[in-house]
Amino acid sequence: MHEMRKNKDAPVDVMGCNKLQDDDADPKVRRYQVLISLMLSSQTKDQVTSAAMMKLRTHGLSVPSILQTSDKKLGDLIYPVGFWKLPGVGPKMAHIVMDVAWGELTGIGVDTHVHRICNRLKWVQKPTKQPEDTRKAVEKWLPRDKWREINVLMVGFGQQVCLPVGQDATNA
């Protein structure tokens, strides 16, 4: 997988949540931006999330600025992101934001790509139905020093090689 991803040219490599925040911003603002990018990324292509984040950053992406912005304006800024009204932050987002925003490794961020690939490669003892079950199964055997890299590595692999239909990771 590392060899197939050596060019690091998948959308996640240039537009993932670790690339969309303002690195020069105050640490609290930067962490907030990481969280927002993750929340917008749910079921959304990286290109769409990136465009929405750039519009938000231009508008002013900080808690005070967003609190002063109407829902209508926010909707316009992040359009065409479609899932922004969904509530909450789940385990995947929580683990990724803790890693990217705080530098604390609390677990593997398992999204649809990681879940699919881990099951196809049989990295889980028995097939899992939910990403959280996949995370727990993979964390049991994958060395902790590999957890930080596995999400971006596998998301990129899933974006370019092991697609939801068609190419199978076991035959790539």
Q: Which residues are catalytic?
A: 92
Q: Kindly report the length of the chain.
A: 172
For the beta carbon of residue 66, count every other beta carbon within 10 angstroms. Answer: 16
Provide the CA 76 distance to its chain's centre, in angstroms.
22
For the beta carbon of residue 6, count every other beta carbon within 10 angstroms. Answer: 8
Contact at 8 Å (CB) between 16 and 159? no
Contact at 8 Å (CB) between 122 and 141? no
Reduced to 3 states, what is the DSSP secondary structure of residue 27? Answer: helix
Tokens of 17: 């949540």
CA-to-CA distance for 123 and 80, rounded, in angstroms?
Answer: 35
